[in-house]
């Protein structure tokens, strides 16, 4: 799917400052390793899911299952709930109000958008007034939205060049989750926590983070990113120093040494 962004045709995006994302105008450029649907977990599937919901009365439960719907079904099974007619009626009203058209936006976070612009030259980014933004313009505006943009992007760029697909990882208490082929295909293998030089971390916090990552079957990576003196221009990326440390939770029961007497 990555090849969609490596063609000669450039895709258009609009920088939305208040939301800190770039809206991708061409939905056909959707790729599981970049961005996500505004109403979906990954690829934009809102319209297909809504249509499938309205057709459930005639498909006898054989409709195509999407990730979002599978999650809803599991929760309903645990709670002993069943789908009622109001869900179908609500879906019908939505389709009627939207004219059965897909209004779901496809969003790129700032790091994905800048990578597509700076590293792959596969996208054009405009501001809401349709003024084309250069690489330097995007760097300046993105840095205004996220004060630590340079550091976060340097880490993102580092793992992208190693072949990983970094995704936002706040729900696991980390900065990035690394996927081999994107969340659409498999679970993430690693959870990356960026360690800032000016912040202190106690062992209790790190052990709590390691425990969370262990529970969701991810390996915790502590990523130390040393930034250069000036980060006002993209040229500073070559001066970043990045070091990694893999941290695993130590359990007394599982890791107790066996003394040989």
Question: Could you confirm whether 233 is annotated as catalytic?
Answer: no
Locate tokens 């990045």: which residue?
A: 242
Residue pair 192/167 in contact (Cβ under 8 Å)? The answer is: no
**Phi, psi (5° rounding) for residue 43?**
-65, 150
Q: Which long-range contacts (CB under 8 A, 24 or more apart) does 125-132 make?
A: 125/13, 125/14, 125/15, 125/22, 126/12, 126/13, 126/14, 126/15, 127/14, 127/15, 128/14, 128/15, 128/16
Question: Could you confirm whether 248 is annotated as catalytic?
Answer: no
Catalytic option among 11, 157, 167, 218: 218
Residue pair 206/60 in contact (Cβ under 8 Å)? The answer is: no
Neighbours of 126 (CB within 10 A): 16
Q: Which long-range contacts (CB under 8 A, 24 or more apart) does 115-118 make?
A: 115/153, 115/156, 115/157, 115/160, 116/5, 116/34, 118/234
Question: Could you confirm whether 187 is annotated as catalytic?
Answer: yes
Neighbours of 12 (CB within 10 A): 16
Catalytic option among 66, 157, 179, 193: 179
Catalytic option among 187, 196, 207, 248: 187
Q: For residues 37 and 1, give the distance between their C-alpha atoms in angstroms, rounded to a whole number.
A: 16
Residue among 118, 110, 108, 109 nearest 142 (CA): 110
Strands 190-195 and 219-226: parallel
Q: Write out the catalytic residue numbers.
A: 179, 187, 218
């Amino acid at each position: 799917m990555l090849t969609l962004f490596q063609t000669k045709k450039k895709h258009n995006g609009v920088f939305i400052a208040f939301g800190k994302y770039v809206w991708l105008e061409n939905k056909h450029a959707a790729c599981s390793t970049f961005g996500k649907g505004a109403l979906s977990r990954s690829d934009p599937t809102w319209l297909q899911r809504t249509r499938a919901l309205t057709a459930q009365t005639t498909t006898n439960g054989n409709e195509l299952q999407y990730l979002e719907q599978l999650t809803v079904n599991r929760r309903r099974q645990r709670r002993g709930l069943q789908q009622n007619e109001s869900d179908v009626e609500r879906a019908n009203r939505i389709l009627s109000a939207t004219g059965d058209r897909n209004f779901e936006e496809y969003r790129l976070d700032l790091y994905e958008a800048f990578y597509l612009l700076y590293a792959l030259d596969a996208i054009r980014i405009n501001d809401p007034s349709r003024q084309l933004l250069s690489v330097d313009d995007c760097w300046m505006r993105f840095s205004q939205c996220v004060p630590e943009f340079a550091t976060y992007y340097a880490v993102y760029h580092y793992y992208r060049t190693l072949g990983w697909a970094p995704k936002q990882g706040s729900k696991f208490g980390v900065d990035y989750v690394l996927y081999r082929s994107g969340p659409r295909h498999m679970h993430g293998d690693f959870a990356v926590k960026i360690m800032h030089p000016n912040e202190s971390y106690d062992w209790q916090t790190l052990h709590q983070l390691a425990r969370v990552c262990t529970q969701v079957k991810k390996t915790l990576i502590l990523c130390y990113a040393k930034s250069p003196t000036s980060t006002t221009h993209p040229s500073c990326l070559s001066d970043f120093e990045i070091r990694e440390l893999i941290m695993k939770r130590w359990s007394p029961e599982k890791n107790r040494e066996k003394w040989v007497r």
